[in-house]
Amino acid sequence: MRPIGPTQTWLIEHEPFTVVRLHDDVIDAVGQTAAHPYVERFWLPIIGPSSVLALRRIAQWLDASPAGVEVSLGLLAGDLGIGQAAASRTLARLVGFELAAITPADQLAVRTVLPPLPRRLTMRLPNHLATAHEDLVRAAARSTKVVTDAA
C-alpha cells in the first residue's frame, strides 16, 4: 500500500468535494485551455496523461456548471478509466504542480487554463520537446511588441 499525502487525505475526508475554477487573471490571459494541443504536447510529459485528462474532464464539467460541481473520486475515476486511488493521486499531482489548490472554503479549485510551462519544467522535457518549446517561446517573443508608458 502506498502512503498517502495531505492532499489525498483531504480528498478522502471531504468526499464528495466541490470543484471550482481556479482563476488567475495573468494565466487566464497568457495560458492555454486544458484542451489546447500545447497542453498535450508540453504539459503531458510533465504531469502525465491521467492529469491532463482530469484537467480536461473537470474543465468540461465547469463549463457546464460555472458555479462549481460536486465530484467524488469514484465519479472521476470512472470517467478517466482508472481506480479511485489513482484518481486521488492524480488530483494530488495537480495540486503539487499548482494546477489545483484546496481553498479556505474547503473546495478544490482547478485551473482550466494552464500557464506556459516554466523554464524549470522545460528542462525535464525530452530534448526534442525542449527544443520545440524553446522555438515556440522565441517565436512568440518575436511576435509580441512590448509597449511602455513613456509619460
pTM: 0.88
Per-residue model confidence as pLDDT tens digits over 56-78: 999 999 999 999 999 999 999 99
Angle in degrees, 0-180, between the axes of helices 84-96 and 49-64, rounded to the nearest 10? 90
Residue 70: strand pairing partners: 18
Question: Is pLDDT of 32 > 70?
Answer: yes
What is the CA 67 to chain-centroid distance, rounded?
18
φ and ψ at residue 13, rounded to 5 degrees: -70, -25
Domains of the chain with CATH codes = 6-114 (1.10.10)
d(CA 48, CA 117): 14
Share of the chain above pLDDT 70, in %: 92
d(CA 32, CA 49): 17
φ and ψ at residue 6, rounded to 5 degrees: -60, -35
Chain position carrying cell 518575436: 142
d(CA 1, CA 40): 30
Residue 39: per-residue pLDDT = 96
Please tell me whether residue 42 adopts helix, strand or coil conformation. helix
Scanning 65-126, the segments in alpha helix (DSSP H) are 73-80, 84-96, 119-122
